[in-house]
Copies of this chain bind each other. A is one copy, B any other.
Amino acid sequence: MIEDKHQERTPLSSLGEFGLIDHLTKHFEIKQDSSVKGIGDDAAVLDFKDDKVVVSTDLLVEGVHFDLSYMPLKHLGYKAVIVNLSDIYAMNAEATQVTISVAVSNRFPLEALEEVYAGIQLAAKLYNVDVIGGDTTSSTTGLLISVTAIGKAKEDMLSYRDGAKPNDLLVVTGDLGGAYMGLQVLEREKEVFKVNPNNQPDLDAYTYIVERQLKPEARKDIVTLLENLEVKPTSMIDISDGLSSEVLHLCKQSNVGCNLYEDKIPLDPQVISTCEEFKIDSTMVALSGGEDYELLFTIKQEDYPKIKANPNLTVIGHMTEKNEGANLITRAETKIPLKAQGWNSLAND
């Protein structure tokens, strides 16, 4: 939250558009076999041979999806890549390339854009994807990042949202609600900072959840794990808008119902303690808080033995006939209909 007033500031206009793109992308290496030609022509050229190609795209907008008063620029670049890779993994596919477009106002110096690109480069390196194209342009106000992620899979490995059947088990990776509670902590500290700018926040008690918000990871490891376990999800989606909204997507597109058990929802102890501190119901946070980028999928009952011992995977319910509806079975064993109360960017500004 401290802004260094004495940092280097090179105006973007000093490089020109082509110079800027060259400068920012010169460190990007091409590693994937499927990348024939990366940045530097009218279009990139890719070769997927017999694999199917998967494509997903997302926009991150300053003031809507992120707040630069607590989101470091490098983290932002990292997160912009991660949220898009998550969509590729949610198809049970391997992410291979991304294109990155950035619109930025002249209030940002070159050094700020370099930070964004350092985060992009780090994510690309850790997730083994090539940056094969993009655009850098000015905006009249804030910062905006548009990413398109590309991946590949054998046709019979792809998991869509519409393949769940009644009696399939509903499985979630990792734990939920952390990113949302991290945001609550950051928002609170921002208010404190506004009142007293000399008051430095102590975030030690919130390390995990703040990192879930500022530096989320995508579950590339789960795609590999499922392949090793020889489990193919019957349906799959990533959790970007909250568990409840994603469960309803699977139910609607698969034409099934669902019983989701409140007591099975995986929560990190730091999420629980922070929910108590903020007097927020932790189940509500898991159901409606977004941005965890965990995977939610269904598997056949017969595959249960293959996954049951795995600490990354939690069975949280099962699918039912459509006419039974999509329900939360509470700790008190009452059944209440699930509602999508995920985050709505259009209602938030």
Contacts and interface: CB of A to CB of B under 8 A. Distances in A.
Interface stretch (A25-33, A128-136, A180-188): A128-136
Contacts of A142: 139-141
B141 A144 contact: no
A64 B140 CA distance: 7
A339 interface: no
Contacts of A345: 17, 137-138
Interface stretch (A49-57, A277-285, A298-306): A49-57
A343 to B, nearest CB: 9
Interface string A102-137: 010110000000000000000000000000111111
B45 A137 contact: no
A346 to B, nearest CB: 5
Nearest to A132: B55
* Most central of A12, A41, A87, A142 by chain B CB within 10 Å: A41
A41 B99 CA distance: 20
A34 to B, nearest CB: 8
A253 B40 CA distance: 9
16 contacts: A42-B88, A42-B161, A43-B88, A43-B149, A44-B54, A45-B53, A46-B55, A47-B155, A57-B133, A58-B101, A61-B139, A64-B138, A101-B146, A103-B144, A138-B346, A138-B348
